[in-house]
Copies of this chain bind each other. A is one copy, B any other.
Amino acid sequence: MKVVVTGGAGFLGQRLIGELLRRGALTDAAGERRPIDEVVAVDQVAAPATERVRSAVGDVGDAAFMARAAAGADSVFHLAAVVSGAAEADFDLGMHVNLDGTRALLDALRTEGHRPKLVFASSVAVFGGALPEVVTDETTPSPQSSYGVQKLIGELLVGDCTRKGFIDGRAVRLPTIVVRPGRPNAAASSFASGIIREPLAGVDAVCPVDPRTSMWLMSPKAAIANLLHAHELPAGRWTGPRSLSLPGLTVSIESMLEALARVGGDAARSRVKMEPDARISAIVEGWPARFDTARADAMGFVRDGDFESIVRDYAREYAR
């Protein structure tokens, strides 16, 4: 089968492709386990190509490009997005990639006529405004950022195209993924990886939010496992809405820094400078940090054990 990964050159995309190749097979829309013949990494930059991985470089908001890139796909993991901070700073760019891109993909898939599977990486940024202490499966999404609005619109379109029988779509709301390797990005949450990653590499880092702020987090490992689980679950297990919030960990910045100290020592901890930034604080504090993910738990999605293990995993994999 042919698997398309949008955002395939990115961190999560590359990690997902690695895991797809390792597993070698996926369950198709008919419930049959089939070998993966080809993975197409769709992104604005080239992804490493191998015997089974093809890189398709282009603009996901360009319908003609997406129609070519997604042609014949049996399964799609739609990760491509302009991140929160960038979508807020450049409204047109966010709308183009996050909304037009999702529409272009859905149009490409539905005209295929064979009801491909689609896993859509949504975000807890669909929640905002006046929220209960704990967000549940019944809480009304009320995004307070253009990114969150665009992700929620994506969920609605994925849901409607599934209801219409065009695709078999599953949208999962990812917590903030920590620890991301590499360099900071334009996400308002970028610092949450930075305050772990930079100190472990002997580099100073800035924390722009109050240390008492809590965040809803997931490790890259759990994110990949959950994206694949979302794909592999039989359609019959997706009763109710085709969108759900994934299990995460509620962790305060203070606790994150304590875990950093335990893994990297006081020298690492002392590299984090507190420099409050009103713009980033406003965005991050608007994100809910506590969830009851009963539905996802019952469907077998996984939760990280504790934050210190996430830091140790990162240190083992990347900080060598």
Residues of chain A having any CB pair with chain B under 8 Å: 91, 95, 103, 129-130, 138-144, 146, 149, 152-153, 156-157, 159-160, 163-164, 240-241
Contact = CB atoms under 8 A, between A and B. Distances in A.
Contact of A153 (B91, B129, B130, B153): B153
20 contacts: A91-B164, A95-B103, A129-B241, A130-B240, A138-B140, A139-B140, A140-B140, A140-B141, A142-B241, A143-B156, A143-B160, A144-B163, A146-B164, A149-B157, A149-B159, A149-B160, A152-B156, A153-B153, A153-B156, A153-B157
Contacts of A163: 144
Nearest to A95: B103
A97 to B, nearest CB: 15
A156 B148 CA distance: 10
Contacts of A130: 240
Contacts of A146: 160, 164
A301 to B, nearest CB: 21
A37 B157 CA distance: 40
Contacts of A149: 156-157, 159-160
Contacts of A103: 95
A160 B140 CA distance: 16
A139 B159 CA distance: 18
